[in-house]
Amino acid sequence: MAGDPVGGAAGNILACLPPDTGVECFEDLASGGSTRIERIVSRGQVTPDGEWYDQAWREWVMIVAGAATVLYEDGREYQLRRGDYLDIPAHTRHRVTWTDPDSETVWLAVHYDIAMTA
């Protein structure tokens, strides 16, 4: 990230997107205490069949660019487009079933209420 405004980092979440290598890209932008903020860049990637995310913390995600579909284990499905967000409670089994294969889907993910470990 460029810059140093009053002791912090500055940048643009849409700048310097990784090249399309066929692999989803995860990049931590900031973290502290029980919170971590990351940028995720997808291009057609989905959660592998039969796998579910089941996190011990909450996750708030927003689509900055592109589109995606998130499915909860209970059958609820969310089609997310630019500007849409989803707040996923801890231990809510979910999976990504679709991201746009023709362009980058840029996610802003905030992981919070992360248990502190000694």
- Three-state DSSP class for 5? helix
Q: Percent of the chain at pLDDT above 70?
A: 92
Residue 18 placed within a domain: no
Express each pLDDT in 13-34 by its tens digit: 999 999 999 999 999 999 999 9
pLDDT score at 117 = 45
Q: What residues contact 54, with CB distance under 8 A and at least 6 apart?
A: 91, 92, 93
For residue 84, the domain's CATH number is: 2.60.120.10
117 within a domain of the structure (yes/no): no
What is the reported pLDDT for 8?
A: 74
Structural Rg of the chain based on CA atoms: 15
| Domain assignment present for 56 | yes
Burial label for 59, CB within 10 Å (0-12, 13-18, 19+), is buried
The pLDDT value recorded for residue 9 is 80
Number of domains in the chain: 1
- The reply to whether 72 falls in a domain is yes
Q: Output phi, psi for 51, to 5 deg.
A: -100, 150
What distances in angstroms separate CA 37 from CA 31, 46, 72, 95, 96, one per listed residue? 6, 20, 22, 19, 19
Position 107 in a domain: yes
101 inside domain = yes
Segments forming the whole domain that contains residue 59: 23-112
- The pLDDT value given to residue 116: 52
**In 3-state terms, what secondary structure has residue 62?**
strand
Whether 28 maps to a domain, the answer reads yes
The per-residue pLDDT for range 66-109, each reduced to its tens digit, is: 999 999 999 999 999 999 999 999 999 999 999 999 999 999 99
pTM of the model: 0.87
pLDDT of 5: 53
Within a domain: 4: no
